[in-house]
Structure 1
Amino acid sequence: MTSWVDITTVNHHSTYNHTKPAEQKNSLGKDDFLRILVTQLANQDPGSPLQDKDFIAQMATFSSLEQMTNLNKAFEKFANHQINQYSSSIGKIITWMPDGSTTPVSGEVIGVTVQDGNYFYLVGEEKIAIEKVTEIRQKIEETSNNG
């Protein structure tokens, strides 16, 4: 029989340096998980120590948590790279097909924004979904020939 530690009784402040106040923290991270595991091992019943299969299952959970953390960091970097890539279109002319229209519309990109994980070009007051753009071209400056 395995003896589990009640995590509500673990002293959170004596051995762990929080990066943000406890009231702002709403989920357990990998450091919290590892601290709980170490506390559990230190406080287990010597007559009924943690079984190998239980320890392996907990380490697998820790490993999964580590992988998810790394994946989140990679996605953040990717998202930042995407917005940098799309920002190169600022000042260029894009063409897109508005919903329900058969006539393409063109306008100058003045910015790029992200909403709910979707990227949009800003043209005037409109947000144009990146996937609706059919053409991107350089803005041709008009020159006047005054004589």
Structure 2
Amino acid sequence: MVVNAVSTTTAATTTSAADAAAKKTGIDYDTFLTLLVEQMKSQDPTDPMDATEQIAQLATFSQVEQTIQTNKNLEMLLQSSNLSQAGSLIGRSLTSADQTVSGVVNEVRVTDTGLTAVLASGVEVAVTSGVTIR
């Protein structure tokens, strides 16, 4: 008996990927504040940092934080979309983009790079542009 299955990455993996992207920026909010305080402590009292410059630095960091949060939300949305697509592929006929492989989809794997269909013959086909599903 063949059991149709959908293999997925967990939400934790999605969150981990987004967190890893945030860490790649090299700075988090606490680090930024620490650097800002140190910069203020170390500045020359006779020539203090311009308040406008401080505000510009805070605004820039705020934009980076918002971008990271937006990316996390987009990744979760894409993951959800991939899960919906994966479930609808099982049991349908699939033909590869180059028309060399075709068969019935038994399993779909959702990965960071997209969907991979596993046909009844065991052949794996990446679900990308040009793939025909009937």
TM-score category, normalised to shorter length: 0.5 to 0.7
Contact 1:121 1:130 in 2 (8 A): no
Structure 1 residues not aligned, in runs of 5+: 1-24, 137-147
Tell me which structure has the larger Cα radius of gyration: 1
Contact 1:91 1:108 in 2 (8 A): yes
Q: Which moved more, 1:119-128 or 1:62-71?
A: 119-128
1:126 counterpart = 2:119? no
Contact 1:94 1:108 in 2 (8 A): yes
Task: Give, in angstroms, the shift of residue 51 of structure 1.
Answer: 0.5
Identity, % of aligned positions? 28
Highest RCO, 1 vs 2 (Cα 8 Å, sep ≥ 6): 2
Structure 2 residues not aligned, in runs of 5+: 1-22
The answer for the alignment partner of 1:110 in structure 2 is 107
Contact 1:96 1:106 in 2 (8 A): yes
User: C-alpha deviations, 1:1-32, integer Å up to 9, x for none?
Assistant: xxxxxxxxxxxxxxxxxxxxxxxx76222331
Contact 1:89 1:109 in 2 (8 A): no
Task: Give, in angstroms, the shift of residue 70 of structure 1.
Answer: 1.0
The answer for the alignment partner of 1:135 in structure 2 is 133
Instruction: Decide whether aligned partners of structure 1 residues 65 and 57 sit closer, same or farther in structure 2, where only a CA change above 3 A counts.
Output: same
Give, in whole Å, the separation in 2 of the partners of 1:33 and 1:42: 14
Task: Give, in angstroms, the shift of residue 111 of structure 1.
Answer: 2.0
Give, in whole Å, the separation in 1 of the partners of 2:115 and 2:94: 16
Q: CA RMSD in A?
A: 2.7
Give TM-score, length-normalised by structure 1: 0.58
Where 1:88 maps in the other structure, the secondary structure is helix
The answer for the alignment partner of 2:82 in structure 1 is 83
Equivalent AA in structure 2 for residue 58 of structure 1: Q
Task: Give, in angstroms, the shift of residue 107 of structure 1.
Answer: 1.6
Report how many aligned residue pairs link the two structures. 109
Equivalent AA in structure 2 for residue 118 of structure 1: G
Where 2:47 maps in the other structure, the secondary structure is coil
The answer for the alignment partner of 1:49 in structure 2 is 48
Contact 1:91 1:109 in 2 (8 A): yes
Contact 1:91 1:110 in 2 (8 A): yes
